[in-house]
C-alpha cells in the first residue's frame, strides 16, 4: 500500500457565525463561535486517517496550547504526528472564518509557526518514500519548502496533490510539479 505524507498547515480555526451590526466603529456581534483544530494539512491528514489511510503529518506549530491541541486532535484521529515540530519563535497558525447564512464571507489567515517550517524539518520524513507514494501539500507553508518538495517528487516519481491556496504563495513551478491540483473553490 502506498504511503501518504501530508506536508502542510496546522492551525487553530475560529469560526464566527451570523455576524450582525454595522461595519463602522462599533464591533460586530457573532451569534456563536466554534474553535477547532484545523489548517489545510491538519484537516486532510485527519480526514484520510479517519477513512483508514496510514498518514504521516509534517508541520510546525507554536509551543502553545493551540499547537498542543492541534497535534493531540490529529493523533486522536490516528495520524502519525512524529513529523510535527514546534517553535518558540511564533505562535501556532490561526484562521478566522466568518460565516453568514452558512457561507464563507471572509477568512483571515495568520501563518504563525507555519512560516517557520523548513526543508530540514520535512526532508527526513520523505526519505523512505518511493515511486507511487503520495504527498499532499498546501500553500500554507513557505514557498521554499514547496520548491524543494516539487523537486523531490519529480526526481523520485512520487505523486503530489497540491492545494494551491492561498494562491499568492504558489508559483508556476509548484503547479507544474503537482500531478493533481485541488483548489479550494471558496478561496481560488
pLDDT value, residue 33:
92
Using DSSP's 3-state secondary structure scheme, residue 114 falls into helix
> What pLDDT is attached to residue 185?
67
What pLDDT does 1 receive?
54
* Domain 4-11+39-92+112-181 fold: 3.40.1190
Q: Provide the 10 A C-beta neighbour count for residue 108.
A: 10
In the chain, domain spans: 4-11+39-92+112-181
Distance of CA 120 to the CA centre of its chain: 18
Spatial neighbors of 179 by CB under 8 A, at least 6 apart, are 159, 160, 161
Looking at residue 141, what is its pLDDT? 96
Of the pLDDT bands very low, low, confident and very high (cuts 50, 70, 90), residue 183 is: confident
Please, which pLDDT band fits residue 23 given cuts at 50, 70 and 90?
low
* Mean pLDDT, residues 107-115: 95
List C-alpha distances in Å: 142 to 53, 89, 188.
26, 16, 18
Amino acid at each position: 500500500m502506498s504511503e501518504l505524507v501530508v506536508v502542510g498547515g496546522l492551525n487553530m480555526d475560529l469560526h464566527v457565525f451570523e455576524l450582525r451590526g454595522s461595519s463602522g466603529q462599533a464591533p460586530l456581534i457573532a451569534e456563536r463561535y466554534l474553535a477547532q483544530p484545523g489548517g489545510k494539512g491538519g484537516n486532510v491528514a485527519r480526514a484520510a486517517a479517519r477513512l483508514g489511510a496510514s498518514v504521516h503529518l509534517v508541520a510546525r506549530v507554536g509551543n502553545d496550547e493551540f499547537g498542543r491541541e492541534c497535534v493531540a486532535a490529529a493523533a486522536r484521529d490516528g495520524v502519525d504526528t512524529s513529523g510535527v515540530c514546534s517553535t518558540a519563535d511564533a505562535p501556532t497558525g490561526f484562521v478566522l472564518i466568518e460565516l453568514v447564512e452558512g457561507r464563507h464571507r471572509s477568512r483571515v489567515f495568520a501563518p504563525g509557526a507555519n512560516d517557520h517550517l523548513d526543508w530540514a524539518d520535512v526532508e527526513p520524513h520523505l526519505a523512505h518514500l518511493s515511486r507511487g507514494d503520495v504527498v499532499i501539500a498546501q500553500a500554507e507553508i513557505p514557498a521554499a519548502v514547496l520548491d524543494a518538495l516539487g523537486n523531490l517528487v519529480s526526481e523520485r516519481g512520487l505523486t503530489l496533490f497540491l492545494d494551491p491556496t492561498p494562491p499568492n504563495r504558489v508559483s508556476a513551478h509548484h503547479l507544474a510539479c503537482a500531478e493533481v491540483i485541488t483548489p479550494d473553490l471558496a478561496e481560488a
